[in-house]
Structure formats: structure tokens, C-alpha cells
């Protein structure tokens, strides 16, 4: 199926205003509009970002008489979990969310218990758009097209829900956030930027998750990558490359017809140089499509020349998607690919894919109820 690239989301009504949509200044304005003293703004922020509460009825430091009014004005219920499925003995959990307007999208929570007494990790993979306009043919989300952008609060609510589940069920903290769910985060740039600021700000202004533990994954919108570099946030950038040559990448990642490999690597090296952070290059290994030894050599060569040590290749064994004729590469082919990339002086690992059997793995999110 050939699809058009969609950079601008269709103009759909956005959800009602939520506290999490507002920056510090706007929160003060909002509480004063309700006739409350300005210090309530900080209290509410502490509840939301610090205690992970979005229900004013449970905010005991708020006078009982104003809780209902605050709930109506600032804490509408934006997301309802429509379905949750688990695998890996409960270590991977996918949630299908339903927004106020019926829009659906998914997020995935993954726990990686620590070994030998070391601390474990918990990562939430969140969506930035309902659907996606980038039309990559091997990705289920890309095949469904773009429905709409998610609001700042709709994205933050996925994080808050994951963090509060972990705390309540396990007494654990959320350590990592990856923008690898549905959508192209850099096509919803301004909202994603606000979300990033709130994720990394210390409580009460944000969730206080360290910037280096937050990964923004992109198909390669070169100008937006440069812009993000200049914001000075220090989040990790992941670039979905999937091919080292334009001829193949034009078909696998259609946005390559707009910003080709040279341009996107230029932007990504600018990111690495500006932030000092290593860029993660994503490469879904597809049998007989992009897994040839010469492509491994070329990938390693190009990346080493562009980034020096500031790059890491993440191979993702292709996950099956409905109707796709493509398949993951056989293990020996994968091993040789890894060895050849490494031989060029570039670190390379194979991603441990989680959630295949519940269609929660990379490229499988389609938000089908």
C-alpha cells in the first residue's frame, strides 16, 4: 500500500484544558481565575508531579469545599484505560487508552528487574500522536495513517499513569521514558517539547526524571532534530535509519525522499556535538531487505565517519505486523551484521524485543480495541 506523508495533523478538536497542559505561569493564572490564592498552583503541581495524583478529591491539602470546582476546571479525566494486556509474566504491560473524543492509542510499560542486587529499571514507551503520518511500510502504526496529535496533558498522563502504577503495585520508580510508541514525536514538536520540559523538571514543576533517561525517537525530520539540539535539554536522540543507502531508505522510511541520509546524519551529528550525547541509531533487521553484509559495512563506515564514538547502533529484529510479507533476519545473519558494524568501530547491540505476543513491540502498536 502506498501512502502519502502527512506532516501536519488533521485539524481536530483537542481535548479540554488540563492542569498538565499549563506551564508555571499559566497555572497561577488558572488558579487565580478560580478565585484561589496563587500558592495553590504550586500545591496542585506537587500533587500532580510529585504525588502522581490527578484526582482533586484525593488532594487532602486542598480545602474540601473547592475540590469539585478544581476537578471540573483543571482536572478533566482525559484518558480511560480501555484495555490492558500483559506478557513476560507481567513484566510487559500494554495499555489501550481512550481519549475524551473516542481517539485511541497505546503505551507500554516494561520492567527490567535488576540482577545480583543491582537496581532494576522500568521504562514506559509512550505515544505522541494517535496514529502516524510517516507511512513506513513495515510499521503497523504507519500503515494506519494519522488521526491527530496528542495534547501535552494526554502525553503526560501516560507517564503519570505508568509511574503511579509502578509505585502502587511494586513500590518502584519509573526510570526511563521512550517516545517510541505511536506517532512521530518531532511532527508534534511544540507539545512534545513542553512534555519533555515537564518530564525532566524537578518536582513540583515536573516528574524529575533525568534527561539522559528520556529518549526521543524520530524518522529523521532534520530541521526539527537541529531545533531540539538547540533547546539544551540533553535528552537522548534515537534515529530510525533502517538503511545506509538512499535507494533502500526511500522505500523503508518514505520521509527520506524529503531529507536524505546525508542531511539526516548531518542533523544527528549536530545533535551529538551540541549535546555531547551519543545518538542511538535504530535499524530494524529485515530478512533479505536490509540485512546484507555490504549494508552492514556501509552502515558502520558512514556512522563512524559521521559520529566518531558518539553513536550506538540498536538492531531491532523485525516484529511481524498484519499483512506484511517481511520477516526478521535469521540469527546467523544478525550475528554477522553485528560483527561487521562493530568491525567499523561502531558499538552495536540487538534490542531485546518485548511484547511481541501481545502486539506491544516496536512497530506493532495499532490501537485496535
For ligand SAH, give the closer residue by CB, 59 or 178: 178
C-beta separation of 59 from 66 below 8 A: no
Query: Please, what is the minimum distance in Å from the beta carbon of residue 48 to ligand SAH?
Result: 26
Contacts of 100 by beta carbon, 8 Å cutoff, 6+ apart: 15, 16, 76, 77, 78
Distance between CA atoms of residues 155 and 134, nearest Å: 19
Provide the angle, in degrees to the nearest 10, between the axes of the packed helices 24-33 and 64-74. 120
DSSP 263: H
285 annotated binding-site participant: no
210 annotated binding-site participant: no
107 annotated binding-site participant: no
Query: Please, what is the minimum distance in Å from the beta carbon of residue 7 to ligand SAH?
Result: 12
- Answer yes or no: 106 catalytic: yes
For ligand SAH, give the closer residue by CB, 127 or 194: 127
User: Apex CA 210: angle with CA 205 and CA 215, to 5°?
Assistant: 110
For ligand SAH, give the closer residue by CB, 128 or 194: 128
Query: Please, what is the minimum distance in Å from the beta carbon of residue 268 to ligand SAH?
Result: 12
Q: Summarize as ranges the residues that interact with ligand SAH (CB under 6 A).
A: 132, 134, 136, 138-139, 180, 184, 217-219, 240, 282, 284, 316, 318-319, 321, 362-363
184 annotated binding-site participant: yes
For ligand SAH, give the closer residue by CB, 204 or 317: 317
Query: Please, what is the minimum distance in Å from the beta carbon of residue 75 to ligand SAH?
Result: 29
Please list, residue by residue across 343-353, b when 16 or more beta carbons sit within 10 angstroms of its beta carbon and e when fewer do.
ebebebebbeb
Query: Please, what is the minimum distance in Å from the beta carbon of residue 80 to ligand SAH?
Result: 24
Query: Please, what is the minimum distance in Å from the beta carbon of residue 262 to ligand SAH?
Result: 19
Distance between CA atoms of residues 211 and 226, nearest Å: 17
- Answer yes or no: 362 catalytic: yes
183 annotated binding-site participant: yes
132 annotated binding-site participant: yes
Of the residues 106, 154, 157, 282, which is catalytic?
106
Bond before 34 cis per omega within 30 degrees: no
318 annotated binding-site participant: no
Q: Which residue is nearest to ligand SAH (CB)?
A: 363
231 annotated binding-site participant: no
For ligand SAH, give the closer residue by CB, 62 or 134: 134
Of the residues 154, 157, 282, 362, which is catalytic?
362
Please list, residue by residue across 20-59, b when 16 or more beta carbons sit within 10 angstroms of its beta carbon and e when fewer do.
bbbeeeebbebbeeeebeeebbebbbbbbbbebbbebeeb
**Which three-class secondary structure string do you get for 71-87?**
HHHHCCCCEEEEEEEEE
Provide the angle, in degrees to the nearest 10, between the axes of the packed helices 189-200 and 222-230. 30
Q: Which helix (H) or strand (E) holds 316?
A: strand 311-317
Distances (CA, A) of 266 to 260, 262, 271, 289: 10, 6, 9, 25
For ligand SAH, give the closer residue by CB, 240 or 256: 240
Distance between CA atoms of residues 307 and 279, nearest Å: 9
Which segments are annotated as binding site?
132, 136, 139, 183-184, 217, 240-242, 319
Active centre residues (catalytic): 106, 362
Which segments are annotated as binding site for S-adenosyl-L-methionine?
183-184, 217, 240-242, 319
Amino acid at each position: 500500500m502506498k501512502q502519502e506523508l502527512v506532516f501536519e495533523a488533521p485539524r481536530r478538536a483537542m481535548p479540554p484544558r488540563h492542569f498538565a497542559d499549563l506551564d508555571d505561569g499559566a497555572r497561577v493564572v488558572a488558579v487565580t481565575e478560580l478565585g484561589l490564592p496563587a500558592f495553590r498552583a504550586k500545591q496542585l503541581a506537587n500533587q500532580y508531579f510529585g504525588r502522581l495524583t490527578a484526582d482533586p478529591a484525593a488532594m487532602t491539602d486542598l480545602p474540601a469545599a473547592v475540590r469539585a470546582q478544581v476537578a471540573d476546571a483543571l482536572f478533566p479525566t482525559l484518558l480511560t484505560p480501555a484495555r490492558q494486556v500483559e506478557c513476560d509474566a507481567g513484566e510487559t504491560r500494554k495499555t489501550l487508552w481512550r481519549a475524551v473524543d473516542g481517539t485511541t492509542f497505546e503505551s507500554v510499560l516494561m520492567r527490567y528487574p535488576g540482577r545480583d542486587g543491582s537496581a532494576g529499571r522500568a521504562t514506559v514507551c509512550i505515544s505522541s500522536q494517535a496514529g502516524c503520518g510517516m507511512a513506513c511500510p513495515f510499521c503497523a502504526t504507519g500503515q494506519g495513517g494519522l488521526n491527530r496529535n496528542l495534547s501535552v496533558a494526554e502525553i503526560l498522563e501516560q507517564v503519570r499513569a505508568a509511574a503511579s502504577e509502578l509505585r502502587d503495585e511494586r513500590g518502584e520508580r519509573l526510570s526511563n521514558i521512550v517516545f517510541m510508541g505511536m506517532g512521530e514525536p518531532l511532527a508534534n514538536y511544540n507539545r512534545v517539547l513542553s512534555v519533555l520540559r515537564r518530564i525532566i523538571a524537578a518536582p513540583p514543576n515536573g516528574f524529575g526524571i533525568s534527561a539522559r533517561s528520556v529518549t526521543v525517537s524520530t524518522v529523521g525530520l532534520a530541521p526539527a532534530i537541529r531545533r531540539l539540539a538547540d533547546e539544551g535539554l540533553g535528552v537522548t536522540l534515537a534515529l530510525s535509519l533502517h538503511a545506509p543507502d538512499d535507494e533502500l531508505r526511500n522505500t523503508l522510511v518514505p520521509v527520506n525522499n524529503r531529507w536524505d541520509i546525508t542531511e539526516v546524519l548531518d542533523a544527528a551529528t549536530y545533535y551529538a556535538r551540541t549535546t555531547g550525547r551519543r545518538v542511538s541509531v535504530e535499524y530494524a533487521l529485515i530478512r533479505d531487505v536490509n540485512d546484507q553484509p555490504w549494508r552492514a559495512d556501509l552502515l558502520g563506515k558512514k556512522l563512524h565517519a559521521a559520529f566518531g564514538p558518539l553513536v550506538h547502533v540498536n538492531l531491532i529484529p523485525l516484529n511481524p505486523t498484519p499483512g506484511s510479507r517481511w520477516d526478521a533476519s535469521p540469527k546467523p545473519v544478525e550475528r554477522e551484521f553485528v560483527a561487521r558494524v562493530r568491525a567499523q568501530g561502531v558499538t552495536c547491540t540487538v534490542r531485546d524485543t518485548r511484547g511481541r505476543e501481545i502486539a506491544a513491540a516496536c512497530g506493532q502498536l495499532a490501537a485496535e480495541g
